[in-house]
Amino acid sequence: MAPNRNPAQDWEVSTHGTLLPTYCIQQTRPHVLTLTFPDGRVQEFQQVLSPQCQFLVPIELATVTYQPRPGSTGTIVPVDGGDVFVSASWPDGPATLIDFSTADLYQPTTFQYTAPDGRVFVVDAAAACAA
């Protein structure tokens, strides 16, 4: 399993409107998590934040989720739950994701992959897969 870049970095925030602003966060470059099986099958998942936009107040807390990219199946979730603090330069500027439970840069290493047939695998990026 390998992310294509540091999941905590390459984010930016923006503010839209003045009287009743909407605050948003988006990737500056795609964050893709690639899961390669022993038989060579590859599944790719796009890192997504929720919420991506919020009305009236800047986004301070968010949850990291992963959506399958075209051609990929199953679901994958970070075992740590994916809760992050958004450290940002509002109204517009760079942002960094901070792990809510450790206060370090958000870099999950353990994920739970659920295959379309219901089988569940816990995958550690630094170790082997456990069924």
| Domain residue spans of the chain | 2-130
Return d(Cα 79, Cα 128) in angstroms, integer: 15
Q: Is 81 left (phi over 0), alpha (psi -120 to 50) or beta?
A: left
Q: Please, what is the average pLDDT of the chain?
A: 90
Radius of gyration of the chain (CA): 16
Q: What is the pLDDT of residues 81-99, one digit of tens each?
A: 899 999 998 889 999 999 9
Cis peptide leading into residue 116 (ω within 30°): no
pLDDT for the residue 120: 94
Partnered with residue 66 across adjacent β-strands are 47
Q: What is the pLDDT of residue 131?
A: 47
- Token representation of residue 59: 């986004």
User: Which burial class, exposed, middle or buried, applies to 108 when counting CB atoms under 10 A from its CB (0-12, 13-18, 19+)?
Assistant: buried
Tokens of 8: 């905590």
pTM given for the model:
0.87
The pLDDT assigned to 20 comes to 92
With a cut of 50, list the residues of the chain below it in pLDDT.
128-131
pLDDT of residue 127: 60
